[in-house]
Structure 1
Amino acid sequence: MMEQLVQHLKVLGFTEMESKMLIVLAEQGSMSGYEVAKRLGVSRSNVYAALQKLVDHGFVLCSKGEPTHYTVLRVEELTRMIGDQLQNSIRHVEQLMPKQSNDVTEFFSLDSEKKVIERVRQELGRAQQEIIVDVWAEEATLFREDLEQAEKRGVKVFWSVVESLEEHRQRRMQLQLHSSLEGDTAKRDQPYGRKFSIVIDRKWSMLGMRGEDIPTKALVTEHPALLELLLNHFAQELVLFEVEHELSPELRERFGANFEGIYRKYFQSGLVNVK
């Protein structure tokens, strides 16, 4: 528990020693510098220098006397003071930081599960007008709460959710079996990945892939070409959904389930990884 608290305090700008001092003082109440040093197992010179810094910043109070005793602020006062100082620093950064050129043609790559999920949730929380989500069932479950919160804020949310990974595997195995009977030599051990795309307010987009067999990666951009591509793809899915809903028996009879007949016409393997 202490190590976790130390890490959070370090994120807020305290050194590791300062963080441990704040925790010890909060646990024990008023202590002398000698007592703090003994409790932490560090030299008194380092302790006194760190304590004086905390006193100078107002996080710790000291009493006059021999020896001097130190007391940390109550947690409510401490967090309020930290928050005020952070907000003040943020305002200065916004005002004084050199302005960057607004080049929306940049493409940025995110290459880990944590980075991708955190960025998606961050952008969903910033959405103001519209969110378009084209995901698998697993990702729909993962971001469902964030999307519901956006809807409560008045943001229009459009979902396109496809089968679960298990359903996809079963369908793909059926296609592979059918293709092997026709002499197709496609590999059966290709890694499984779930493509997903998100467009927010028609100016920010993410295109990525996530799955059990491959590392999570995503491309983030405001480039109008990719935005248009993803929006057109989503619109085509809506059209196909309406057409299938109205003409499902006729389409299935002519082209097969999931339009395999059309895919085989243009791709020899017949195993195009489509949703």
Structure 2
Amino acid sequence: MENVLQHLKNLGFTDLEAKCLHVLAVSGTQTGYEIAKGLGVSRSNVYAALQKLAEKGAVLTSHGEPTVYQSVPIEEIGERMEAELQASIRYVKEHLPKQETQMSEYFSLEGETKVIERIRSELRKAHEEAFCDLSPEEAKLLRDDIREVSAQGVRVIVMPTRDAGTGFYPFARKRGEGLKGQQGRKFAILIDRKLAIIGTRGVEDPTVAMITEHPAMVELLYNHFCSSVVLQELQQDMGTKLEDKYGKNFKKIIQKQIDGKVPEPKKSDEGKVVALKLHAGNEIAGELGHLDEGVSGGELLSDESAREDNPEKLEQGKSEQEKPEQRKSGQGKRKKKK
């Protein structure tokens, strides 16, 4: 009964109206007095509810004393309500002002139903591309939605996660150490390189998500997917060679650059800052310039590849190293002349 009453309320009936409809559906016909007595509610409130139901076309009333009420078949009520709802939707679509707005703020969603329904809604809006980083549970839950979007011509890329035993997650251990108190499986979705959805689901904590079109978050998530795709393909094509040189999942590089296990610096590298050339190493080096405070020598270096891209600076560096030797040789020549 409770479920029926809840769905009747979802259709727009008040709690008392839903109870009156349920009573009439069970008994067939009753007077207002009988309904009020059965529900334990005041007659005035019941008569007001029955009047509203009559105006909505949900109950029929007899003429005479006492007035008898009878419910209209639910099929008829449903058809009438559906027709009215569709008419209202069409009118609103035609007359409600439309604005092209960007979701530049960070909006939060909480609750299983809200999060999953929003993900499905946004997936259906995809026009060109959808990147999905999902655990097996979420992939299974959204499987039909992903297939439907793909069938419409949208390019869909689903990244496997470490939970599935595949994929490239070199920083999983370090992340886990910093997030021991958090529960739930993490997921991330990027739609048309415009909308980012990130959240967690499952275990003990409630399902939560963050949704935004902010360019910073979109770019970060896009770079994450690109890096994962590129590294995964590299591993597939050159797995053994990469593992021999850098260790499994590039462990040697991670230990050096991320874990802080950096080998003892060479004398020539002391007092220098290395600007890694990921996208624009030279530009970063140029922006930082010379570091005079607290840095011996204050010289800023890019990595080897960055220096190779700028041979003039490399040659200039070589010439600077040769100058002391040239000066020494020059002094020797002058002495000989004397």
Superposition TM-score tier, normalisation by shorter sequence: 0.7 to 0.9
Could you tell me which runs of 5 or more consecutive residues in structure 2 were left unpaired when the two chains were aligned: 262-338
Task: Give the AA of the match of 1:69.
Answer: V
Aligned ranges 1:20-35 → 2 under 5 Å: 20-35=19-34
Partner of 1:254: 245
CA distance in 2, matches of 1:33, 1:55: 13
Give the direction of change, closer, same or farther, for the CA distance of 1:11–1:211 in structure 2 (3 Å limit): closer
Give the direction of change, closer, same or farther, for the CA distance of 1:72–1:201 in structure 2 (3 Å limit): farther
TM-score scaled to structure 1, two decimals?
Answer: 0.79
Aligned ranges 1:178-217 → 2 under 5 Å: 191=182, 193-212=184-203, 215-217=206-208
Q: Which has the higher contact order (CA 8 A, sep 6+)?
A: 1
Count of residue pairs the alignment pairs up: 256
CA distance in 1, matches of 2:149, 2:54: 43
Task: Give the AA of the match of 2:114.
Answer: K
CA distance in 1, matches of 2:110, 2:88: 30
Q: Deviations over 1:189-215 (max 9, x none)?
A: 554553321122333220223453655
Conserved in 2, the CA contact under 8 Å of 1:108 and 1:220? yes
Task: Give the AA of the match of 1:44.
Answer: R
CA distance in 2, matches of 1:114, 1:265: 43
Aligned ranges 1:1-275 → 2 under 5 Å: 2-91=1-90, 93-94=92-93, 102-164=101-163, 191=182, 193-212=184-203, 215-268=206-259
Q: Deviations over 1:141-162 (max 9, x none)?
A: 2222321233344433221122
Partner of 1:183: none
CA distance in 2, matches of 1:213, 1:57: 44
Conserved in 2, the CA contact under 8 Å of 1:193 and 1:211? yes
- 1:53 is displaced (CA, Å) by 0.9
Larger-Rg structure? 2
Structure 1 vs Structure 2: percent identity of aligned residues?
46
CA distance in 2, matches of 1:161, 1:212: 20
Q: Deviations over 1:17-54 (max 9, x none)?
A: 00111122222222222222223222222111110111
CA distance in 2, matches of 1:187, 1:268: 13
Task: Give the AA of the match of 1:217.
Answer: V
CA distance in 1, matches of 2:5, 2:154: 38
Q: Deviations over 1:154-185 (max 9, x none)?
A: 433221122327x59xx99x969xxxxxxxxx
